[in-house]
Amino acid sequence: MLAFGGPGDTDWVVSVVQQDGRAWSRRVNPGTVSEEAALGFALVSSGVKPHEVDRWSIRRAGDRQIVLDDPFAALLRRRA
C-alpha cells in the first residue's frame, strides 16, 4: 500500500505534450514510485492513452536546476 503525504520535494512532476499539441503537467505523490509508474499515474489521471503522447519529461518537484533549452517550456511559450 502506498502512503500518501503532503507535497514534497521528492514528488515527481510529469510533463506531457500530446500528439494534438496539448501540453500539461501533473505532480505525482508519493515520490517513492518509479518514474514509469509516475508517468502511468499522470496519464491515467488525465484520461490520456500512451499512443496519444508525442513526448514527455519527468523531474523531481524539488529540482531547482535551470534548463535553458527545454522544448516543453518553449512549446508552452508558443501556445501562450
Q: How many degrees, rounded to 5, is the angle at CA 59 between CA 55 and CA 63?
A: 145
**Is the confidence at residue 47, as pLDDT, over 70?**
yes
With 80 as the cut, is the pLDDT of residue 26 above it? yes
The domain locations on the chain are 12-79
pLDDT of residue 77: 76
pTM for this predicted structure: 0.73
Mean pLDDT of 11-27: 93
Residues 6+ apart with CB under 8 A from 15: 23, 24, 25, 56, 57, 58, 59, 72
For the record, the C-alpha cell of 38 comes out as: 509516475
Contact 39, 27 (CB under 8 A): no
